[in-house]
Structure 1
Amino acid sequence: MLYKLWRSFIKEILLLKRDIGGIVIIFVMPLLLIVTITLIQDSTFKNLEGSKIPIIFIDNDKSEVSKNIKKELENNKTFQLLTNFNEKSAQNAVFSGEYQMAIVIPENLTKDLNSNIENKVQKIVSSFGLETDSTATQKTVSKAKDIHLYFDPATNSGFKSSVMNSVNKMVFEIENKKIYKSFQDQLGTTENLEENKNLISFKEITPKKGDAEVLPNSVQHNVPAWTLFAIFFIVVPLSINLVKEKSQGTSVRVRVSPTPYFIHILGKTFTYLIICIIQFLLMVAVGIYLFPYMDLPAFDVSGKMFQLIVVTLFAGLAAIGFGVLLGTIADTQEQSAPFGATSVVVLAAIGGIWVPVFLMPEFMQHVAKFSPMNWGLNAYYDIILRNSGIGNIGKELALLFAFYIAMVAISIFYERKQNAV
């Protein structure tokens, strides 16, 4: 039995040696993909940190509130303010795509804000039976002012929300300070306004390794994700080889030989598992040794290599099972190759390789739970980012192995049914 398994393994190696294009797809393309995607994502991240987005700022108020807003925007590391526009020219420049956004502060914003706040504070103080300035209460309440925000129609909705939240926060803080100051004036207190800071603040607690904080980076996300994509891409050459065996008559000789069909499948499994391990090691090597020369963070696998290899083996089994099923069902290479490539891309999209699962619609988040790529990706992330052990990823490993068994079982059943006499 072992000899038959060995001969089946050798047969698969010979098939791969004759298919140079398949070897290129299996090893070279994933390496190019991981380098390209990681460089793009990391450079985008650095650009957001290191450069400023030019935005148009028009100050029609030219008073305290508008100056405070302008000061906050200038202190922000994200924006570069452009002031040589009027509202009409700013609107044209933004809507034509020349600039991403414009902020227009209306006239008399400070004056009307002060007037409204004073009136409201006086009413509140008067309700407590305290004396107020009778002349001040005669002021008319001004209509609320709108700060106009213009966005390029092609601007990302996330960027819009971020900017609007920042502007709202600035205005809210300015209003609060003015309200507090107005109460001080009405009540005659002399407490220093600068001493009244927020009573509640936010502090992010991050995992630590020793005394150093462990901060996730683009490499830690991309290496496991695209390693998994590369592993599942073996579906293409594996299914093509199975179709070739049927068209060239090899499968007929396998069926009439005394070797059970499952030995044939096991031979393919061991062959492509070795390929999966080589793919994984190449990806890790790129992350550890090549990325630092590209000004990217090095991929840290210290103390995690064994667990990562275990995940790779189980992910490889799932990919091999899917490839075997596809190659068994397909009748021609024209069926197996495009369907295999497309299905891998779909599984990657559903599984969270392209877009994080939490950003998907609720229905798609439920669908993602049925993607073997999602199981493998969660297992990789648990080890790399959450410092989990083998015991913590047992569910994902069991699902990947069950997927392999199910795919192979369906393949054997289909093959026997098709060739039953």
Structure 2
Amino acid sequence: MLLYKLWRSFVKEILLLKRDIGGIVIIFVMPLLLIITITLIQDSTFKNLEGSKIPIIFIDNDKSEVSKNIKQELEHSKSFELLTNFTEKSAQDAVFGGDYQMAIVIPKNLTKDINSNIDSKVQSIVSSFGLETDSSAVKKNVLKAQDIHLYFDPATNIGFKNNVMNAVNKMVFEIENKKIYKAFQDQLGTTENLEENKNLISFKEITPKKGAMEVIPNSVQHNVPAWALFAIFFIVVPLSINLVKEKSQGTSVRARISPTPYFIHILGKTFTYLIICVIQFLLMVAVGIYLFPYMDLPQFDVTGKMFQMIIVTIFAGLAAIGFGVLLGTVADTQEQSAPFGATSVVVLAAVGGIWVPVFLMPEFMQTIAKFSPMNWGLNAYYDIILRNSGIGGIAKEITFLFLFYVAMVTISLFYERKQNAV
């Protein structure tokens, strides 16, 4: 009997949705437009960072060994296009004017001064061991510091500045090390091959692999689950509006005086909107698999992951439905439910890492993000897509999502009962 009543409640929700075809179209079409637009924008940004060369001004006043090595390293990095037809003054004006992101100016006599300083230091060290050295060179142990000038556009990202400065420091450090090693060879008369003097420690990045292919996160792997979650939570708006309509039209009164328990009506709404959530997610995945490759975007790979992702979608849908039920129960008018519902979804998306990755947020915002149901859902999707987790690996997130649904519905039922108590 309860199953029949649940079925009738489900049919009632479908009939209500059929009266607002425009709203249903918006629920499905709006997220698709968002995912396509934002993925295109973000992917072009990634391509600019990874594939295109950034034009920078390179001025070589040294024109010797060290400056040539620095120039060669910059060219081999495949990240920069070096522009050389500038003076330091014109380069400074061009960079500070925003025409270029940065300029590197190598000072005069850089190689000569480095060689002189290294020879002087090495001879001082060798002489301290009682070995024969050129005493006249030791007395000339006067260090001449040389500065490589780096000009940055004031609007340049601080991360880009730090990366470039670290790269230049690393290049100079390696050049100095080789020269120091060569100077000791000359002083001590050794014949060891300089090329064999390799680093004892190196870094090797290890990423998750699928077969022989490395799995590297891209814009599609972020945007498909992220905007699927946004679409799922956006059902808060039509769901809360329908609940408010039922109160204003007297439907909720008839539901309360009927022999059917009120929670059956809530379950009917849950099943109806859960189907909508799954359809939204499948449409997003279809765009990622079939449309994105035709738009020169990476294809969304769901091989062996679809079942786990559907599970996350169901529990994320439950969380969104619970929030919508609470909002529709508490709100008295559509003017209250619609704006608040849309605004709250946008806030949850921002806090949950849909727009800005959580690790880029201030520390206190990272703490707040841990309480966002969208963040739980996004982390669960990441675990599946990027970390190849199974159901066990996402158990914590889907548990939180289910408890959120239970909490929202429980509060709604208590609030509805209190409001209609005689």
- Match in the other structure for 1:357: 358
Q: Is the 8 A contact 1:121 1:183 kept in 2?
A: yes
1:154 aligned onto 2:160? no
The AA in structure 2 aligned to 1:4 is: K
Query: For 1:113-132, what aligned pairs fall within 5 Å after superposition?
Result: 113-132=114-133
What amino acid is aligned across from residue 103 of structure 1 in structure 2? I
RMSD: 1.5
Please report how far the alpha carbon of residue 140 of structure 1 lies from its aligned counterpart in structure 2 after TM superposition.
4.4
Separation of aligned partners in 1, 2:75 and 2:275: 56
Matches of 1:141 and 1:345, distance apart in 2? 63
* Structure 1: distance between partners of 2:208 and 2:26: 37
Query: What SS does structure 1 have at the residue aligned with 2:202?
Result: coil
Q: Counterparts of 1:31-110 in structure 2 under 5 Å?
A: 31-110=32-111
Q: Contact conserved, 2:241 with 2:328, CA < 8 A, in 1?
A: yes
Answer yes or no: is 1:392 the counterpart of 2:393. Answer: yes
Given residue 35 of structure 2, which amino acid in structure 1 is its aligned partner? I
Per-residue Cα deviation, 1:351-378 (whole angstroms, up to 9, x for no partner): 1211222222222222111111111111
| Structure-2 residue corresponding to 1:3 | 4
For the 8 Å contact 1:115–1:139, the answer to whether it is kept is no
Structure 1 residue runs of 5 or longer lacking an equivalent are none
Give the Cα separation in 1 of the matches to 2:254 and 2:22: 26
Q: Which amino acid aligns with 1:87?
A: E
Give the aligned partner of residue 234 of structure 1.
235
| Kept in 1: contact 2:121–2:141 (CA 8 A) | no
TM-score by length of structure 1 reads 0.96
8 Å contact 1:311–1:376 — kept in the other structure?
yes
The 5 A counterparts of 1:154-173 are: 154-173=155-174
Give CA-to-partner distance per residue, 1:201-237, whole Å, 9 cap, x none: 2222232333333333322222111111111111111
> Contact between 1:382 and 1:393, CA under 8 Å: does it hold in 2?
yes
What do residues 59-110 of structure 1 show as CA deviations (whole Å, max 9, x unaligned)? Answer: 1222221111111112221111111111221111111111111111122221
Counterparts of 2:50 and 2:309 in 1: how far apart (Å)? 32
The CA distance in 1 between the partners of 2:106 and 2:245, in whole Å, is 70
Looking at structure 2, the residues matched to 143 and 339 of structure 1 have their Cα atoms a distance apart, in angstroms, of 66
Which digits, 9 at most, give the CA deviation of each residue in 1:125-153, with x for residues without a partner? 11211111112112242331111111111
- Normalising by structure 2, what TM-score? 0.96
How far apart in 2 are the matches of 1:90 and 1:360?
A: 35
2:381 is aligned with 1:380: yes
Q: Which residue of structure 1 lines up, in the alignment, with residue 371 of structure 2?
A: 370
Q: Separation in 1 of the partners of 2:328 and 2:30? A: 22
Find the aligned partners of 2:281 and 2:23 in 1 and give their Cα distance: 17
Once residues 59 and 298 of structure 1 are traced to their aligned partners in structure 2, the CA distance between those partners, rounded to angstroms, is 44
Which residue is 2:252 aligned to? 251
Q: Give the percent of matched residue pairs that are identical in Structure 1 and Structure 2.
A: 87
Q: Tell me by how many angstroms 1:156 deviates.
A: 1.1
Output the amino acid matched with 2:59: I
Give structure 2 stretches of 5+ with no counterpart.
none
The Cα of 1:177 is off from its aligned counterpart by 0.9
1:274 to partner: Cα distance = 0.4
One-letter amino acid matched to 2:56: I
Partner-residue secondary structure (3-state), 2:151: strand
Matches within 5 A, 1:333-352: 333-352=334-353
CA contact (8 A) 2:39 2:223 kept: yes
Q: Secondary structure at the match of 1:80?
A: strand
Q: Deviations over 1:290-318 (max 9, x none)?
A: 11211222222122221111111111000
The residue type paired with residue 76 of structure 2 is: N
In the alignment, which residue of structure 2 is the partner of 1:207? 208
Q: Are 1:420 and 2:411 counterparts?
A: no
Confirm or deny that 1:402 pairs with 2:403: yes
2:156 is aligned with what amino acid?
T
Map of 1:261-272 to 2, 5 A cutoff?
261-272=262-273
Distance 1:208 1:160 in 2: 32
Do the aligned partners of residues 211 and 60 (structure 1) sit closer, same or farther apart at CA in structure 2, a change above 3 Å counting?
closer
CA contact (8 A) 1:227 1:279 kept: yes
Shift of 1:250: 2.0
Distance in 2 between residues matched to 1:63 and 1:46, nearest whole Å: 35
Number of corresponding residues: 421
Q: Take 2:352 and 2:163, find their aligned partners in 1: how far apart are those partners?
A: 27
The amino acid that maps onto 1:9 is F
**Mapped partners of 2:217, 2:277: distance in 1:** 25
Q: Is 1:314 aligned to residue 335 of structure 2?
A: no
Counterpart of 1:135 in 2: which secondary structure? Answer: helix
Per-residue deviation, 1:335: 1.8
Q: Distance in 2 between matches of 1:113 and 1:213?
A: 42
The Cα of 1:172 is off from its aligned counterpart by: 0.8
Cα deviation 1:149-188 (Å, max 9, x = unaligned): 1111111111111111111111111111111111112112
Q: Displacement of 1:392 after TM fit?
A: 1.9
Separation in 2, partners of 1:125, 1:177: 17
Report SS of the residue matched to 1:54.
strand
Report the Cα distance in structure 2 between the residues aligned to 1:20 and 1:291, rounded to whole angstroms.
27
Larger displacement relative to structure 2 (264-273 or 37-46): 37-46
Match of 2:221 in 1: 220
Offset of residue 282 of structure 1: 0.8
Deviation at 1:258, TM superposition (A): 2.4
Q: Following the alignment from structure 2 to structure 1, what is the Cα–Cα distance between the partners of residues 112 and 339?
A: 67
Work out the CA distance in 2 between the residues paired with 1:380 and 1:145.
Answer: 51
- Whether the aligned pair in 1 keeps the contact of 2:380 and 2:397 (CA below 8 Å) is yes
Letter in 2 for 1:417: K
